[in-house]
Amino acid sequence: MPKKKSTKTLKINNIQNRPIEINYIGNGTKHTARYADTTVYDLYLFQDRISQDQHHNAEWLHSLALRSNIKLTVQSFLSNPVRLGNGATAGMSERSAQSRLTLIEVLDYVSKNCGRDYTSLLEGIVMHNQSLSDWSKSTGKSRSGKLQMLQHALDEVGKYRGM
C-alpha cells in the first residue's frame, strides 16, 4: 500500500499584517511560501463567492500543479503550461510524476463529469491565476454563469478527493 502523502500548512502574518501561508508538502522536506491573498481563488473566497471547501479543493489542485513541475503562468498564446527546470535534468522525480498523474486524473474526472469548458475554466483560474474576465477573453466565451461553473468544478474536485 502506498504511503499517504500529506500537505501541512502554517499560516502567519508578516509585519504589514498580510497573511502568508507556508505549505509543507510530503514529509515536510519541501515547502513553498506565498501570500495568502494573491491568487484569484483567494480573492473569490474573501468575497464569499466560493465556499471554504471549494477553496481547499482549489489549493489542493494548485499544490498538485506546483509539485508536478509545471510553470503556473501562461507563456504563450496557446496557454500551455511550460515545464520548469533546466535542460540538464534527466527527468522528473517520482513525486513529480505521481503528482502529474494525479493532476491529469483530476482534470479528466472533471472533464468527464462536467465538460471541457469546466476543466478549461478550472485550469485558467486555479493554475494560471486568470480572472473570469481574462479567461473569457482568452477563450471567447461569455462570462455569464461562469462563477457557478467554477463552483461546480471545484465541487467535482472535492468529490474526486472524497470530501
pLDDT in tens, 31-71: 666 555 568 888 888 788 999 999 999 989 988 888 887 76
pLDDT computed for residue 103 by the predictor: 92
Q: Is the pLDDT of residue 159 over 90?
A: yes
Handedness of CA 80, 46, 26, 87 (dihedral sign): positive
pLDDT computed for residue 13 by the predictor: 63
End-to-end CA distance of the chain: 21
Mean of all residue pLDDT scores within the chain? 76
Q: What is the helix, strand, coil percentage profile of the chain, to 5?
A: 50, 15, 40
pLDDT computed for residue 65 by the predictor: 87
pLDDT computed for residue 36 by the predictor: 56
2 or 80: which carries more pLDDT confidence?
A: 2
Q: What are phi and psi of 10, to 5 degrees?
A: -115, 125
The model carries a pTM of: 0.68
Q: Is the pLDDT of residue 138 over 90?
A: no
pLDDT computed for residue 68 by the predictor: 83
Rounded CA-CA distance 82/50 in Å is 28
pLDDT computed for residue 50 by the predictor: 92
Nearest to 63 by CA among 119, 92, 21: 21
DSSP state of 5: P
Arithmetic mean of pLDDT, 90-100: 75
